[in-house]
Amino acid sequence: MTNETDSTNTAESTQPVIRSVAYTPNGGGDQAYEVIDAIRRGENPTPTVHPEVLESDSVINVEKFNLWYTETQAIHDISMKIPRGAVTALIGPSGCGKSTLLRSINRMNDLVEGVRVEGGISLNDSPIYAPSVDVISLRKRLGMVFQKPNPFPMSIFENVVYPLRIDGERRKEVLEEACEKSLRSAAIWDEVKDRLKKSALGLSGGQQQRVCIARAIVADPEVLLLDEPCSALDPVATLKIEELISQISERYTVLIVTHNMQQAARVSDFTAFMYLGRIVEYGPTATLFQTPALIETEHYVSGRFG
C-alpha cells in the first residue's frame, strides 16, 4: 500500500528528470550507444583497445576466452593483455563478468560445478588451461584477495605465513622474516607487530583485509588478483587499502576488479570497461576517464549510465 502512494508521489514530482538520461535501447535522446546496443543484440563488437596497452610487456595474455556457467555464457570471446608491473582495473556494471574473468586466471572457477571454458589464458607465456597444468602450483604463482576479508581463524602470524606453511616451510626464522616483510609491505606491521600471536579475527575489517593482502603477497606471486577488495570496508579503510595498492604496484603486477569508478581512477594505470561479458574499451586509465573513445565509456565513468 505504501509503495503505491510513494510511486505516485514521485511520479508527479522529480523522478523523470533523471530517467531521461538513463540508457534506453537503440540510443537514448541524441546519443547512440552503438557498441552497447550491439552487445545487447548478442554480437561481439571489436573492443576499442588503446595502443598503449599493446605496447607494454604483458604478464597475462587472455586469448579468445569464453566461459559458460552450465548453459549461460558469462564471458564472450575476450582477448586482452595485462601489462607487467602496473595496476589494471576491471570495471563495469554488475554481472558483466569482471569477477569471473579474474577468477578464471587462478582457476577458482574450477570449484564451481558445470563451468566450461574455451580459448586460453597464459601467465608469463605458460598456458593455464592446458591439461598438464597442476592447478595447485598455478595458484601458488598468484595471490588473491577476496571481496570480504577472510582471515583464517588462527593467529595473525599463522595467517600471513599460511602459503609458506602449506609449502612445508618450518624454519621459524624464515617464517618470521617473511611475515614481517609481508606485513610491512601490506602497511600493517606497526599496528599488529605486538599481537602477532593473537587471533586475526580480532582485527577490524580494514586491518583484516590488509592481513589478507599480506597473506597474498608473502610467497612473492607473479600477479596479485584483487576481487573488489574494498567493497566491504568503510571509507577510511578503503583509503588505506588504496594507498597500499599504489605502494604494492611498485613490486607486483596487480589486477583489480572494482565497482567503484573513483577507485579505479585513483589506483590503476590501465582500465578495462566490460559489459555483458565483453570488453568495451581498454586503455590507460587517464585516457579512459578523460578522453575515452566511446560515448558509452564516457557516460559510464561519469555515472550517467550503468
Partner 1 sequence: MSDTNTTHAVHARRRTLPSAIGEPMVWLTGGALVVCLSMIVMLVLLVVVNGSKTFWPRAIEQVTLHDGEVFLGVATEHERDVETGVLHTLYRVGNRDIGQESFRWIDDEQISSIETPDDAVMLEREAWGVWFGVPESIVRVHAGQEDTVLAHGSGDVLDAYKALHKDARKTKAKIEQLKKVELGSINSEIEALRLSIRQAEIEASRGDRGLIRLGWVLWFVFGVLAVGCVGLVYRCRDMGTELGASNARQGELIRTSGVIAAVMLVLAMWIAGPWKGQVVDEAQLETMRADAATSEAALLVEYDEVIAQIREIEDVDHELRLVIVEPTSGHFSPVSQTLGDEPMYVSQVVRLVQANTLSTRGKLGVFFSRWWEYLSTNPREANTEGGVFPVIVGTVILTLLLTIFVTPMGVIAALYLREYAKQGFVTSLIRIAVNNLAGVPSIVYGVFGLGFFCYTVGGYVDTGAVESARMGATGWWGMFVLAGVLLIVGFAAKLWSKPNPGKLPTSFNKWMQRGSWLVWTAVLVLVVMLVTRTPYFYGFFEARAQDGTPTFGTRGMLWAALTLALLTLPVVIVATEEAIAAVPNSMREGSYGCGASKWQTIWRIVLPGAMPGILTGAILAMARGAGEVAPLMLVGAVKLNQDLPISTQAPFIHADQSFMHLGFHIFDLGFQSPDSQAARPLVWTTTLLFLAIVFALNFTAIMIRSRLRAKMAGPTV
Report the residue from 76, 210, 215, 278 that binds partner 1 according to the rule CB under 8 A. Answer: 215
Nearer residue to partner 1 within complex by CB, 148 or 181? 148
The HSE-up count of residue 90 (CA atoms within 13 Å, CB side) is 29
Q: With contacts defined by CB under 8 A, name the span among 4-12, 54-62, 104-112, 268-276 that binds partner 1.
A: 104-112
Q: Which of residues 42-101 bind partner 1 (CB under 8 A)?
A: 67
Report the residue from 33, 146, 282, 305 that binds partner 1 according to the rule CB under 8 A. Answer: 146
Report the residue from 41, 64, 165, 193 that binds partner 1 according to the rule CB under 8 A. Answer: 165
Q: Should residue 152 be labelled a site residue for partner 1 when binding is judged by CB under 8 A? A: yes
Q: Should residue 106 be labelled a site residue for partner 1 when binding is judged by CB under 8 A? A: yes
In the complex, what is the shortest distance from the CB of residue 26 to partner 1, in angstroms, rounded to a whole number?
Answer: 36
Question: Which of 81, 31, 89, 42 has its CA nearest to residue 61?
Answer: 81
**Are residues 36 and 42 in contact, defined by beta-carbon separation less than 8 angstroms?**
no
Q: With contacts defined by CB under 8 A, name the span among 7-15, 42-50, 158-166, 276-284 that binds partner 1.
A: 158-166
Nearer residue to partner 1 within complex by CB, 29 or 131? 131
Residue 133 cell numbers, joined: 597444468
Q: Should residue 196 be labelled a site residue for partner 1 when binding is judged by CB under 8 A? A: no
**Are residues 105 and 121 in contact, defined by beta-carbon separation less than 8 angstroms?**
yes
Helix (H) or strand (E) holding 69: strand 58-69
In the complex, what is the shortest distance from the CB of residue 169 to partner 1, in angstroms, rounded to a whole number?
Answer: 13
**Are residues 270 and 36 in contact, defined by beta-carbon separation less than 8 angstroms?**
no
Torsion sign across C-alpha atoms 275, 281, 286, 291: negative
Q: List CB contacts of 265: < 8 A, sequence separation 6 or more.
A: 271, 285, 289, 301
Distance of alpha carbon 236 from alpha carbon 124, whole angstroms:
35
Q: With contacts defined by CB under 8 A, name the span among 17-25, 163-171, 172-180, 286-294 that binds partner 1.
A: 163-171
Q: With contacts defined by CB under 8 A, name the span among 7-15, 55-63, 116-124, 236-244 that binds partner 1.
A: 116-124
Q: With contacts defined by CB under 8 A, name the span among 38-46, 80-88, 165-173, 272-280 that binds partner 1.
A: 165-173
Amino acid identity of 244? Answer: L
Q: Which of residues 121-140 bind partner 1 (CB under 8 A)?
A: 129-137, 139-140
Q: With contacts defined by CB under 8 A, name the span among 36-44, 73-81, 148-156, 177-185 that binds partner 1.
A: 148-156
Distance of alpha carbon 31 from alpha carbon 278, whole angstroms:
21
In the complex, what is the shortest distance from the CB of residue 134 to partner 1, in angstroms, rounded to a whole number?
Answer: 6
Q: Should residue 153 be labelled a site residue for partner 1 when binding is judged by CB under 8 A? A: yes
Question: Which of 221, 218, 200, 197 has its CA nearest to residue 209?
Answer: 200
Nearer residue to partner 1 within complex by CB, 4 or 134? 134
Distance of alpha carbon 271 from alpha carbon 284, whole angstroms:
6
By CB under 8 A, how many residues form the interface with partner 1? 48
Distance of alpha carbon 124 from alpha carbon 221, whole angstroms:
12
Alpha helices (H) along 48-188: 51-55, 98-105, 135-140, 156-160, 162-166, 172-185
Amino acid identity of 188? Answer: I
Report the interface residues with partner 1, using CB under 8 A.
Answer: 67, 106-111, 114-118, 129-137, 139-140, 142-144, 146, 148, 150-154, 162-163, 165-167, 198-203, 212, 215-216, 219
